[in-house]
Structure 1
């Protein structure tokens, strides 16, 4: 009997600690029909305008390993963030089965994958319908969960830029994109996207997934040490495509300046290097760009079709100081992971207009930065590496003590929802 009482006391103390740890952090995962998530994976090879996405669904969205003995490196496609996030949510320590007890409701809906049939498939003329099936389900299956706060406490992940979901409902015939984020029914929920628009309050950008997903704290620390020890022989590197058209743009300016660099006398093997990633050849082959990034001090991150790019996070992972040419490329996007107040401490900003239209030389700007400041910037970039890494699911307890991109996204989402509910005088 004494042992039974002792066990009950221990369990009670554990429950109390768990309750305190999870105060204001409880999340309920909405039980959606598989047609909203797992069934969508069956269509991974049905879009001829895209690469076959099926290999990238492996390992719960991490993709296939880069080589058989790899423990941390995968051929990850950014469009699989919804799978990665869903798998990590299943391990979240503060889950509750009771939605009325939850501070937030997670919708495991693979919105980006479901959007493919409207973006690339036969339903492109019906893109204003994207999301309506989900809303009808939420209205009819235990509607009190949605009605409690009219969706203000709900959130989901959308593994594409928000622009792909923001086509005006009035467009007829429709242009590129779906109208999910323009549906009045979803104005209240929080959407975690790879790139957010400037105005809508409900969107917030989270990092593009890189190819690095360590399962242990030791492997993460080992990588950071390798990055710290890496010899930097190149001043600036651009890994990407584009910039070959005759029209003036920042990528063309970068290529022209890099191609015209002369021998350097300041101790660098090269002032500028280009890793040509045209036609997506780098996207699932991290060795192509990670090795050069490890040898560069600055990584140039020009906008392309959209302001943001995955390379920003690959570069930070390699300890390469990012150089931005638009505020929308990162500073006004990823505040939970790349603190806006500290941006000058780890990045360089050069307005693209100064380069493209006024002849400002990027390499001149970078060479004028004092070496002492460069060292401090690199140290800050090293500190940010855990912030932009999505650790592997089922990771070691040690790794869970260090917050990664997923953890920071959850913290930010909970704070965002709580703040919103307080503004609207809801009582959680």
Structure 2
């Protein structure tokens, strides 16, 4: 689907919001405390950004193909019903489309418990990160703030933005450049603007002091439209033959300086040449080289290897967390993390911290890089019964970490996905803040 068609749909759907929201409220009396008003924003904050998708050649040409299917991207093949070439940058569009289906929308902001800003902040940030305005990245967000203050000023001022939330489809670090940086180094200063200190931002990764932001899962390529397709995938994951002990799908690790990715690559290469447990595993460690983004929009490259592996390494890169963490959960491949910030302290809404040891393995990266701890020794010491138990826990949490397709069946909507959990907890967070205020 072209960007222009996507824009037309969003505009048409927004025009129907008053009728739809009112009808749904009548049918669903359980909307108390759950009513959300979608703020109408000028096209320059969303639709125009999609229309200009060819202006930033971040990938082979532009991000235009990934706007298809309302942010899901193009299907991986023509007959695919659940698999898409999803780009994380388009989560803002995907989330906006799902918000239009939210059962407790209200056209009346005065009765809303929260206000959603359909601002495609990550797309708008491209002009500051890669475009002509790189030296004025401290301005990111000021245009939006001026609009919110001038258009329906009472709506913004009644709670000073405490009841507003938005999605930012990049790690919070990319929006946290200090305003004092001159010249700018990397990122924009959106989250550093005092004007937005009270707004809840849903980001891919949060900073250790998440007053403003909360991390939500990266989107995978799997977006089922109905419950049978989700169940069929879960069955495939559960019955898959795990012929490899571990897998690393990623890039990096080729520099001479000590780092966890380098340690992983070296250990994988050495273990595969002298496999001491060949009767149990075909390979102790498989490496899928995803350098230069070759895996980014091609899930087949890494999903098949993940399905045949018991454990998937999730070392930090430029930021603590990787999208691959959620790909591995989708594949039933038990995540192996090397620092708490990688996921344990990030995704408390979707991956409860108290349950983290039940579906993942934690190995301190310092022990591996500087103390000589062998990752394979740690994994081989885990008994097979515990590995199976951990995989069942991974399968249990998997539906919570995926974003189902818009227009999905009633049966699937009965299961909470990443979107549902994000909205539910955002409402709780806003309610708590308003009570404090």
Deviation at 1:323, TM superposition (A): 0.3
Farther-moved stretch of structure 1 (264-273 vs 274-283): 264-273
1:299 aligns with 2:312: yes
> CA separation of 1:86/1:15 partners in 2, compared to 1, >3 Å: closer, same or farther?
closer
Deviation at 1:421, TM superposition (A): 1.3
Deviation at 1:200, TM superposition (A): 3.3
1:193 aligns with 2:206: no
> Which whole-Å CA distance do the structure 1 matches of 2:41 and 2:357 have between them?
43
Aligned to 1:264: 276
Deviation at 1:206, TM superposition (A): 0.5
SS at match of 1:239: strand
1:264/1:270 contact within 8 Å kept: no
> Which whole-Å CA distance do the structure 2 matches of 1:88 and 1:368 have between them?
43
Deviations 1:27-56 (A, max 9, x none): 000011111001101222222454411111
- Mapping for residues 336-355 of structure 1, pairs under 5 Å: 336-355=349-368
1:119 aligns with 2:129: yes
- Mapping for residues 4-153 of structure 1, pairs under 5 Å: 18-19=28-29, 21-48=30-57, 50-51=59-60, 52-153=62-163
1:208 aligns with 2:224: no
Aligned to 1:276: 289
1:237 aligns with 2:247: yes
1:176 aligns with 2:189: no
Aligned to 1:9: none
Deviations 1:236-275 (A, max 9, x none): 1000000000010000000000000112325111111101
How many pairs does the alignment contain?
Answer: 411
SS at match of 2:210: coil
1:324 aligns with 2:334: no
Aligned to 2:233: 223
> Which whole-Å CA distance do the structure 2 matches of 1:28 and 1:107 have between them?
9
Unaligned runs of 5+ in 1: 1-13
> Which whole-Å CA distance do the structure 1 matches of 2:59 and 2:80 have between them?
27
Deviation at 1:104, TM superposition (A): 0.5
> Which whole-Å CA distance do the structure 2 matches of 1:192 and 1:129 have between them?
20
SS at match of 1:117: helix
SS at match of 2:125: helix
Deviation at 1:137, TM superposition (A): 0.5
Unaligned runs of 5+ in 2: 1-23
> Which whole-Å CA distance do the structure 1 matches of 2:386 and 2:328 have between them?
18
RMSD: 1.3
Aligned to 2:303: 290
1:235/1:272 contact within 8 Å kept: yes
With structure 2 as the length reference, what TM-score do the two structures score?
Answer: 0.92
1:156 aligns with 2:192: no
> Which whole-Å CA distance do the structure 2 matches of 1:373 and 1:398 have between them?
32
Deviations 1:44-71 (A, max 9, x none): 2222454411111111111100000000
SS at match of 1:299: strand
1:368 aligns with 2:378: no
Aligned to 2:412: 399
With structure 1 as the length reference, what TM-score do the two structures score?
Answer: 0.94
> Which whole-Å CA distance do the structure 2 matches of 1:89 and 1:377 have between them?
33
